[in-house]
């Protein structure tokens, strides 16, 4: 896998900022698409929360994208608080970004290198250790 990562601009959950992938050129990116109703998404996001808290954020930018087009209307801020998440959450309004990355389910994790090429794509059955190994190979 060595295709260029589709660019996007997504609003942050807090509503006061947005993030454009192109602005992260030169950084390794771990991009995760999730929903609140999926048990695999919940497990995955809790594991990544632990990773987020323990890693050097100058080396890796972790982006968590709530796929609103695949989730019921949910108070995401309340859900994030209940889950005790401190990681950054952005909103895919509908499924535009999710579809651009050809996701087939949630969670989907995409590893993007410093040149913004896709170097890894992990589905809902991926083990965290495999994602971490893939990430380590990009640092």
Structural domains of the chain in order of their starting residue, each with its CATH number: 9-136 (3.40.30.10)
Is 29:6 a contact under the CB 8 Å cutoff?
A: no
**H/E element, 96:** helix 96-100
115 vs 28: CA distance, rounded Å: 8
> What is the pLDDT of the chain when averaged over all its residues?
94
Render pLDDT for 99-115 as a digit per residue (tens, 0 to 9): 999 999 999 999 999 99
Q: Is the model's pLDDT at 2 over the cut of 90? A: no
**Residue corresponding to tokens 């695999």:** 40
* pLDDT score recorded for residue 1: 67
Closest-CA residue to 30 (of 73, 59, 54, 70): 59
pLDDT tens sequence across 17-49: 999 999 999 999 999 999 999 999 999 999 999
Q: In what order do the strands lie in the sheet with 89-92?
A: 89-92, 60-67, 28-34, 108-112, 118-122
pLDDT of 51 over the 90 cut: yes
Q: For residues 10 and 65, what is the distance between their CA atoms, to the nearest angstrom?
A: 8
Q: Which residue carries 């005790």 as its tokens?
A: 84
Tens digits of residue pLDDT in 74-85: 889 999 999 999
pTM for the predicted model, two decimal places: 0.95
């Amino acid at each position: 896998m060595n295709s260029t990562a589709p660019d996007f601009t997504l609003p942050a959950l807090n509503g006061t900022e947005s993030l454009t992938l192109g602005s992260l050129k030169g950084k390794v990116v771990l991009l995760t698409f999730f929903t609140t109703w999926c048990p695999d998404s919940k497990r995955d996001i809790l594991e990544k929360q632990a990773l987020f808290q323990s890693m050097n954020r100058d080396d890796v930018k972790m982006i968590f994208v709530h796929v609103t087009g695949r989730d019921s209307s949910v108070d995401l801020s309340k859900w994030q608080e209940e889950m005790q998440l401190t990681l950054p959450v952005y909103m895919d309004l509908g499924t535009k970004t999710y579809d651009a990355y050809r996701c087939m389910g949630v969670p989907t994790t995409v590893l993007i290198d410093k040149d913004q090429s896709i170097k890894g794509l992990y589905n809902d059955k991926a083990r965290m250790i495999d994602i971490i190994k893939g990430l380590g190979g990009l640092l």
